[in-house]
Structure 1
Amino acid sequence: MSTDWAALDQELQTWVDQGLTLPLWWRDDDAIAPTAELDQLTTLSTKLGLPVHLAVIPKGATKALADYLTETTQLIPVVHGWGHLSHAPKGEKKAEFGAHRPVDEIVKDASQGLRDLQKLFGPELVPMFVPPWNRIAADVVQELPGLGFTALSTFTPRTAQLAAEGLAQINTHLDPIHWKGSRSVVPPQQLLDQVTKQLNARRLGQADNTEPYGILTHHLVHDAEIWRFTEALIARLMAGPARPWTFDTRNLI
């Protein structure tokens, strides 16, 4: 089945015609070490001109990854939980930072993750917290600013600019992987319809366009179709109204 880009192209052209811009960011999860897939991600990021906020799992992160990141400006390390281990009971959705443990125990893991990655990456680490599976208990969110985090990133459009006082909410909005099905790419037409609808809502003021529009990927499990769609979509956005957005604690959204 062929993919029809016409509706998205028309929406993007309308943005351009109206002088609108789309802040665009890219988050990629589950990094611990350099791999061929990470090479592919870095190459694609460079080609597209859009840096990647690389969500690194602290417990497994290697010095080799830190060394790798010194060789490129395209990868920006952020904190991906602690060990990427679910503590949810069987039958519930996976969560490492959900309400399944005492809050002080959960907070300790978040703090350890930040400290360990600060030691590994130094000042290159940005204090954004990305909970595995994009799930986090509300009580834990309130504790993050006190640990040194200045942003929280999960999935789906945010409902407020701040997740807690001093903690920006900067989410992702499109994940091309069909996790509950083929584990290849979601049917591309479905993804394009989703993007078009989301951008239309932003243009009409029905959604928050001050929140960077986030593409979420997982380089370690991509097949050729996922890579192909991701490149095609980001290239289309960047050729239109999109402008690269990167995390900056001096100018939080």
Structure 2
Amino acid sequence: MRVDWTALRQELAVWHRDGLRLPFWWRDDDAIAPTKALKQLENLGRNMGVPVHLAIIPANVDQALVEHISDVIVPVVHGWSHQNNAPLGQKKAEFGAGRDLDLVRQELQRGLERMNGVFGARFSKMFVAPWNRLSADVLSILQDVGFTTVSTFQSRTSAQPIAGLEQVNTHIDPIFWRGARGLVEPVTLVSQTVELLEKRRRGILDAAEPLGYLTHHLVHDAEIWEFSRQFLTEICEGPVTLYRHDKKDIS
């Protein structure tokens, strides 16, 4: 696959010139059990030297997953069962508006307990909202039950904690979900990334929020894997500080 990275390289060169640092992280969603795709994800993270925050569905997690992931993987919590609870006609969400908050609290507590039972101290108390949607009513419950961080999609609007939670979102998704679930046109992905970096550099967006790359290893085709490899290579050529939730900055 040939991708024109010129615009991204030029923008990163400006960051270098101006002495700026780009915090960067990687999140991958929907893990349950060891698979060939998960091993490929892990190998890519290790080869690139980039930690993978693996969003795991607590209700369905397989104990065998613990034995098949290395230190490049940071286990985080992906909802409870990844079940769509949104009313008919509304966008999918597990923890959207209108749910019984006592039941929500029970599910969030069960999620933490399940992940603790499977991973112990290895899992990180970051809550990744299924479908990247989350009701405002749920935020305070997340903090109450023990989460420290929440993650969805799109740039955060404030660096201040929300309901006591750090917000670390994702911003670039290579999958064309509304189409055949193949790769978004690479020129579009490069353009989106450059625009985000330019807005951060100019103070329009919060430059302190780690720029997040979002993947879903279980549905990747060969083009998505290859684009991801190239993208991570290009980003890491820039003045990057890698974010890892269980250790914060690592380089």
Give the TM-score band, short-chain normalised: over 0.9
Quick one: distance in 2 between partners of 1:97 and 1:165?
Answer: 16
Alignment partner, residue 65 of structure 1: 65
Alpha-carbon displacement from aligned partner over 1:194-218 (angstroms, at most 9, x marks no partner): 0000001111111111101100000
Shift of 1:107: 1.9
Q: Which stretches in structure 2 are left out of the alignment for 5+ residues?
A: none
Cα RMSD of the aligned pairs, angstroms, is 1.5
Structure 2 SS opposite 1:245: strand
Shift of 1:250: 7.6
Residues 2 and 26 from structure 1, CA distance in 2 versus in 1: closer, same or farther, beyond 3 angstroms?
Answer: closer
**2:48 maps to 1:48:** yes
The number of residue pairs the alignment matches comes to 249
Quick one: distance in 2 between partners of 1:2 and 1:116?
Answer: 43
Quick one: distance in 1 between partners of 2:121 and 2:145?
Answer: 16
Quick one: distance in 2 between partners of 1:26 and 1:178?
Answer: 18
Shift of 1:173: 0.5
Alignment partner, residue 13 of structure 2: 13
Shift of 1:3: 3.8
Runs of 4+ displaced beyond 2 Å: 1-4, 161-166, 248-251
Structure 1 SS opposite 2:140: helix
- Contact 1:156/1:172, CA 8 A, preserved across alignment: yes
Quick one: distance in 2 between partners of 1:108 and 1:162?
Answer: 27
2:117 counterpart (116, 119, 123): 119
Residues 239 and 193 from structure 1, CA distance in 2 versus in 1: closer, same or farther, beyond 3 angstroms?
Answer: same
Spell out the pairing of 1:15-164 with structure 2 (5 A cutoff).
15-69=15-69, 72-164=70-162
- Contact 1:29/1:56, CA 8 A, preserved across alignment: yes
Quick one: distance in 2 between partners of 1:175 and 1:58?
Answer: 23
Shift of 1:165: 3.6
Alpha-carbon displacement from aligned partner over 1:152-172 (angstroms, at most 9, x marks no partner): 000000012245342100000
Quick one: distance in 2 between partners of 1:131 and 1:112?
Answer: 15
Quick one: distance in 1 between partners of 2:107 and 2:155?
Answer: 26
Quick one: distance in 2 between partners of 1:135 and 1:58?
Answer: 17
Q: TM-score, length-normalised on structure 2?
A: 0.95
Q: TM-score, length-normalised on structure 1?
A: 0.95
